[in-house]
Structure formats: structure tokens, C-alpha cells
Amino acid sequence: MKLLLISLQSNAYVTGLKYIAANARANGHDARILLLPGYLENTLNTAIEDFIHDYNPDLIGIGLMSIEFYPAKNLTRLLREKFHIPIIWGGVHVILKPEECLRYADYVCYGEGERTIVSLLEHLRDKGRDVLPDIPNVWVKGNGMTIKQPHAAPEMNLDSLPFQEYLPEYFYGFHKNRIYNFARNPRLFRKYALYGGTCHMAITMRGCLFHCSFCGNSIFMNLYGKKIRGRSVANVIRELKEVKKDPYVLYINIQDDCFFAHDREWIKRFCEEYKKHINLPFLVRVIPTMMDREKLFMLRDAGLSWIVMGIQSGSDRVNFEIYNRKVRFSSVMKAAQIISETGAAPFYEMIVDNPYEIEEDEIETITSIANLKKPYTISLAHLTFFPGAPIAEKAIKDNITAPDAYLYRYIVKIDKTYFNKLLYMAPYIPRFIVRHLNKPKAERKLIHLLLTSVLSFIVKRTIEPAVYFFITTRALNYNISWTVRTVRGGWRSAISRVIFNFLGKGDLKYEQRLSWARKHMPALFEN
């Protein structure tokens, strides 16, 4: 059986589809992945039609985040006009809104997809499309009703799944009206890959211990439970050994929500094996309250170079009462101090554009962030009200947001407010300037507005890149050659931060295309 998996996102970070494709192939099926970045057209391009016709898949799977809902809806319509191939949707948005997605797809996968897709392929092979599948995680419409099969228990033995490849030979992309095999055109792959393809996105566990009101994990926990599921050290190292064979990979980007959820013995073994067999710089994500000095210094010795830590807000009221994130800023201060001692490069994540914040909260956040030990950089994300998340349900009830607002905007496209500009600058300008500018609206004068705008322009184009270059160089133990390769490899991402306000060029085009479609393809946006 043949499986075609399609991603509509603007970049080639398709970890979920890689896992599904690898498992299908390991179970005797053929699989391909096709990246159609931001595809939102009235007709199906001839190159895409010919590619699908020549491959002749038995099942097409479309993976989607919420921002890709309308492109997925449109593509499904176009595919049905040309082919009689069953289509299944899966991914984050399907778990958030399964019944809505089932209006357009033949099947939806309400859960993890690796085993589910293999079972569906075997069902289609053995019983055909006319027999409704009785497969856990698969929802289907039949006999005038929606059949919701119970979700399968989450895969506990992650080692039993084949790991994802860095650049599979079956990965294709649509570029300038042609379909290219990325493995045969690695330079084109790097054009679409995050950070210029210089890193491999690895996952060593699934799950999160937190139940934040804004996060999809608050919904996923109802499906997968609260238990963290981890891979063995040996399994992770086997994947990374294969990845390291590609000379273009400069570092490993570990995507776990909190790498420190692994116990100390696991991390000790990981560090030993990583130094022995991989020995590349790597990045992890941490939660302040789970910071462990011993673990951190072991990881730093093994090659840890970058640390991403979610702070979300510098106001304890916002974190506790609005975000249900039980992390006091005093814990952030302690964690940041330990990170600073290691010399690793710190990147701190913040949420802005929160309608439930008041001026006092924003002022407190800016003061708190400015007091962290420098140097560090931050990234800002727009508060997005994902359906089912507790804060979204409250916002809809309070008439603060439209139920479908999350479908139209990237979370990294932030509002250009006074406080957002000041928060963005806080890591890069002296604290006394932050204090001078950090005033409520009633106390601001024209000089505050002008100075903030001028400084924001200067910081974005000079100081922030300089700080980023410095902390990267320091994190790489002042290895200038490795620093230059890392920065050069990710220059597109860096330039995007400067020019497009954290949106990449592909993301910006995607959003513009979505706005265009709302005007010229109104039927697509009707229920």
C-alpha cells in the first residue's frame, strides 16, 4: 500500500509526518511526504496533479496546525475534483476540532498517528474503502452519522517506533511550479528548513507536566494523560548517529517541552553517550521550577549550548490566575542565574497581547525581565486562543475573541504596542532607560513614544544581532569557525527576525495569501 503525507506549513519541520511515514515503511508499506508550503489556490497545479497521479497512493494524509485549516480544506476539495483517493486529516488542529475537520475529510485521526495509519492502510487493503473502519483513533462518517472510535492508548514504548530521519529520501517539496525530491536537492531543502537546515529537530519524550490555560497540552492531557513518555538513551543516540552522517547538521535541537523531566540517571547516561558518539552542540527547553544545577552542568559539559526557557509573564498574578502556570518569578530569577553561570546561550519566551493583563501587569513584566542577568535574548508570542483551552473558553464567553480568530494569525505576529516594544528591548538597553520608559499610558509624553520607537529600530537592527552573535560565540566556547557556520546556516531565520517581526518570509507570504483568499475565495470560509 502507498501513503502520501502532505504538509501545508511554510517550512520543512514535519516531525510528526516523518514519524508516521517511517512507521508505515517499517510495516511494509510505501510512503512519501510532500511539502506544499502555503498552498492556497483555486486549482490544483499540474505538477502536483502529475506527482500524485504517478505515485498513485492508496491513502492521502494531511497534517495540519490550526493556521493551515483553510488551506487543508481547500486542498481536500481540489484533490477530490481530480482523484478518488481517501483522505485522512491529523495533527494538532484535528485533536482540537475533530468534528469540524470530519466535515471535509473522509477520516480524521483523533490521537497519535503512527499505529493508526498503518491499521487504516491494512483496512483499505483487506476490506476496501466501502467498509467503515473499526480502528481506534479513527473517526468517520457513515450511515448518516459520525462514528467516533475510542482513542487508542498512547504509545508507551517509544523505542518501538522507528525514529525520524533528518532528510528522508522520500521527502518532496513544491517549489516554483515543480516538485523536487529534497534529498536530491539538499540546497532547496535548506531553503525551506528551519534555521537553514543546520539543526536536526529531535524528540526524546512526549508529554508535559504542566496544564497551562493557553496551551494545547491542556487539551492533549485529556487524550494522552499526564504521564511523560520517554525514549531510552540508546534509542535516542541511534537516531543521532544517523543524523550526524549529514555534514550539514551543525547542532541538535531537542524539542521536548522540558528536557529536565528526564531523571538524573537518564541525563547522566545521555551525556556520557552523547559526548562519546555525537559531540555536537545541542539545545534544550526547560521549565524554571524544574531547573537542576547538577543536570544542567552535566549537559553543558556534554555540549549543551542553547537553552530555551518559557517565562510567559513577569507577573505572578498573570502566571497563577490567568495562565494556571504555577511558576513564581523568583524561580525564573534563580534558574536564569544558574543558566548564566554555565555560559550557555539563554533564550527566554514571553506571551504578549493578553487582554486579561492590566497595565500594572505589563509594567511588572518589563521590570522583572529587565532585572534578569544579562546577556540573553527573548522571543515574544501573541496570546492565541486555541479552542478547548481554558483561557479560550473564557475569552469567547467574555466576548473578547471570535471563536475562529486563531485560524488567521501566526502566534509570532505580535501587536506593535508601546509595552511590547519596550519588553522586546529590555534585554538590550540599560535598566535606567527601561525604568524611565516603563510608565503607564497616562504618564507618557511624546518623548517617551519617540525614544521607544527609535530605540526599538536600533535594537532590532544592531544590538540584538550583536548580542545573539556574542552569546552564541560564548556558548560554543568561543569557537569562531563553528559560530560563523551556525550563524551563516541560520541567516535566513535571523534576517526574518529583523525584517518580518519574527515571521519568516514564507510565513509572511502565507498570511498574505490567506488574507487574499478571504476576499477572493469567500466560499472557502463558509461553514
Q: What is the pLDDT of residue 38?
A: 85
3-state secondary structure of 131: coil
How, if at all, do strands 229-230 and 205-206 pair? antiparallel
Structural fold of domain 199-489 = pyruvate-formate lyase- activating enzyme (3.80.30)
Q: What is the pLDDT of residue 501?
A: 47
Distance of alpha carbon 512 from its chain centroid, rounded?
A: 20
Nearest to 300 by CA among 262, 335, 345: 345
- Which range (116-125, 201-210, 304-313, 480-489) has the least confidence? 480-489
- Tens of pLDDT, residues 448-464: 999 999 999 999 889 99
Distance of alpha carbon 443 from its chain centroid, rounded?
A: 39
Whole-number percent of the chain with pLDDT over 70: 96
User: 2-158: which CATH architecture?
Assistant: 3-Layer(aba) Sandwich (3.40)
Judge contact between 167 and 182, C-beta under 8 A.
yes
Mean pLDDT, the chain, rounded, equals 92
What is the rounded end-to-end Cα distance, in angstroms, of the chain?
A: 33
Q: What is the pLDDT of residue 489?
A: 62
Residues near 255 by beta carbon (within 8 Å), at least 6 away in sequence: 15, 201, 202, 203, 285
Please state, in angstroms and rounded to a whole number, the distance separating the CA atoms of residues 4 and 48: 12
- Tens of pLDDT, residues 175-196: 999 999 999 999 999 989 988 8
User: What's the whole-model pTM score?
Assistant: 0.93
Q: Check whether 275 has a pLDDT greater than 50.
A: yes
Q: What is the pLDDT of residue 498?
A: 43
Q: Name the packing angle between helices 15-26 and 114-126 (round to 10°).
A: 50
Residues near 141 by beta carbon (within 8 Å), at least 6 away in sequence: 102, 147
Q: Check whether 34 has a pLDDT greater than 80.
A: yes
Q: Which residue has the higher pLDDT, 489 or 102?
A: 102
Q: Check whether 144 has a pLDDT greater than 80.
A: no
Q: Check whether 376 has a pLDDT greater than 80.
A: yes
Please state, in angstroms and rounded to a whole number, the distance separating the CA atoms of residues 319 and 185: 45
Any idea where the domains of the chain sit in the sequence?
Answer: 2-158, 199-489
Q: What is the pLDDT of residue 509?
A: 77
